[in-house]
Amino acid sequence: MIQLPKRFARFTLSALSILSALSLTFAANAPAQAADNAPTCTDPHITCGLTVLDNTGVNGLYGIGARAINAAIAANPHPDLTPIPTDAKELYSRAYRRVMVSTDIFDAPNGKPIGHLDPGFNFVNAGSVHDGWVQIRAGQWLPDSTLGVINKAVSTFSGLELPNGLPKTQFAWVLLDTRPSATPGAQPLRGLDYLKRYTLVNLFASTVVDGWTWYLIGQDQWIIQTRIAVPHPVQRPDGVSGKWVAVDLYEQTAIAYQDDTPVFVTLISSGLGKWPTTEGINKIYERHTDIKMSGDNGNPDFYYLPDVPYVMYFNAQQEALHGSYWHDGYGFRHSHGCINLSITDAKWIFQWTLDQPDASVYVYHSGVYGQGYTR
């Protein structure tokens, strides 16, 4: 992560006096932009550098009264959204353990070597344990000392069903435990409780400091863009109809649509810089409730992942939407190109598309990272 900027945004004195109360809900249909006729910073009734967007889609509104803004925060302090329930039986139905070191595979406890696991990112579905040995398949055993903790990284995170579409107030997930700042660009406030990872927050206004956007999430509470993920609605591409999924590589979010109506939104993890996820519009062409994934044999990047759940392949690069039991890093890039989802979310999308198994997947980016930062 980057070091937080230390300089404050520059505001007029009269604007600074009302900044702590200033907020306005974002529209759900477009990112904020400054209007061409925005007032200048010589006007004593405006807040310089602040961008807000009302629910009518009118951009660049300035000079909002403090009482009205406080009322907006008081009336809608938190998103009225509930994550879909997780199923512990589903999450922990298998004992996934990471192979921590290179090791031989044996035909029995203290038996003969019959295979080998190279160094890399390798997992096994652990079975019975006998005298310090773990069975991974019929006639295949590993020393228990070579394996990590059972289901150490399985995530309980889940996305949000949207019975009424995206809310009018823009919202975001907090990606890192964070204490808000009193003003944009300032150091976090001491004494405040941390907003925990995956907390949902409403966004009431934004401003840019040193090239980074800061969002107002409550009275006197600002948070930098690098610590949140903001789901942005996107227009349905030409030729796409019915059920489709939009994947935003910039924000690391996904929105499932029925035609033009958002019905589900969540965090994802796409390909790392060395293996970027391919952008474009494709259709799901192959589906598996679980399947083995492996690659880069003989290389340091070798990986072996058995029983990957709810897999939906969608492009010529064999990238897929699928559940991931090996990390809880949603909102950050993490994969070899696939779109990682929590197991709960992958199951939701898999089942939702059963009646349209060739649903479209639109992979795009809503912004460009700057200042050497990537998420």
The residue extents of the domains of the chain are 95-146, 243-364
Buried b (16+ CB within 10 A) or exposed e, 67-87: eebeebbeebeebeeebbebe
CA 40 to chain centre: 37
**Confidence band of 13 (pLDDT split at 50, 70, 90):** very low
**What pLDDT is recorded for position 258?**
98
**What pLDDT is recorded for position 369?**
72
Q: Show the DSSP H helices in the chain as ranges.
A: 13-19, 66-75, 88-91, 343-352
**What pLDDT is recorded for position 269?**
98
**Confidence band of 155 (pLDDT split at 50, 70, 90):** very high
**Confidence band of 9 (pLDDT split at 50, 70, 90):** very low
Tokens standing for 204? 């009431």
Give the residue-averaged pLDDT of 350-359.
98
**Confidence band of 371 (pLDDT split at 50, 70, 90):** low
**What pLDDT is recorded for position 279?**
98
Q: Which residue matches tokens 């921590």?
A: 100
Beta sheet of 243-248, edge-to-edge order: 160-161, 261-267, 253-258, 243-248, 360-364, 280-283
Alpha-carbon gap, residue 20 to 66, rounded angstroms = 8
**Confidence band of 73 (pLDDT split at 50, 70, 90):** confident
pLDDT greater than 90 at residue 355: yes
pLDDT greater than 50 at residue 4: no
Alpha-carbon gap, residue 133 to 147, rounded angstroms = 10
**What pLDDT is recorded for position 77?**
92
* CA 257-260-262 angle, 5° bins: 40
Q: What is the pLDDT of residues 183-234, one digit of tens each?
A: 999 999 888 899 999 999 999 888 899 989 999 999 889 999 999 999 999 9
Higher pLDDT, 223 or 74: 223
**What pLDDT is recorded for position 300?**
72
Q: What is the pLDDT of residues 243-252, one digit of tens each?
A: 999 999 999 9
Q: What is the pLDDT of residues 310-348, one digit of tens each?
A: 999 999 999 999 999 999 999 999 999 999 999 999 999
Q: Quick one: 243-364 is in which CATH superfamily?
A: L,D-transpeptidase catalytic domain-like (2.40.440.10)
pLDDT greater than 80 at residue 43: no
**What pLDDT is recorded for position 191?**
86
Residues in the chain: 375
* DSSP code, position 167: -
**What pLDDT is recorded for position 270?**
97
Spatial neighbors of 7 by CB under 8 A, at least 6 apart, are: 185, 209, 210
Alpha-carbon gap, residue 17 to 315, rounded angstroms = 53
**Confidence band of 28 (pLDDT split at 50, 70, 90):** very low
pLDDT greater than 90 at residue 25: no
**What pLDDT is recorded for position 61?**
33
Q: What does the DSSP assignment read for 207-250? A: EEETTEEEEEEETTEEEEGGGEE-----PPPTT--SEEEEEETT
Residues above pLDDT 90, as percent of the chain: 69
**What pLDDT is recorded for position 372?**
62
**What pLDDT is recorded for position 120?**
85
Tokens standing for 339? 């779109």
* DSSP code, position 146: G
pTM attached to this predicted model: 0.83
In angstroms and rounded to an integer, the radius of gyration of the C-alpha atoms of the chain is 24
Alpha-carbon gap, residue 76 to 288, rounded angstroms = 41
Q: What is the pLDDT of residues 263-319, one digit of tens each?
A: 999 999 999 999 999 999 999 999 999 999 988 776 777 889 999 999 999 999 999
- Mean model confidence pLDDT for the chain: 83
**What pLDDT is recorded for position 65?**
56
pLDDT greater than 60 at residue 49: no
Q: Is 201 helix (H, G, I), strand (E, B) or coil?
A: strand
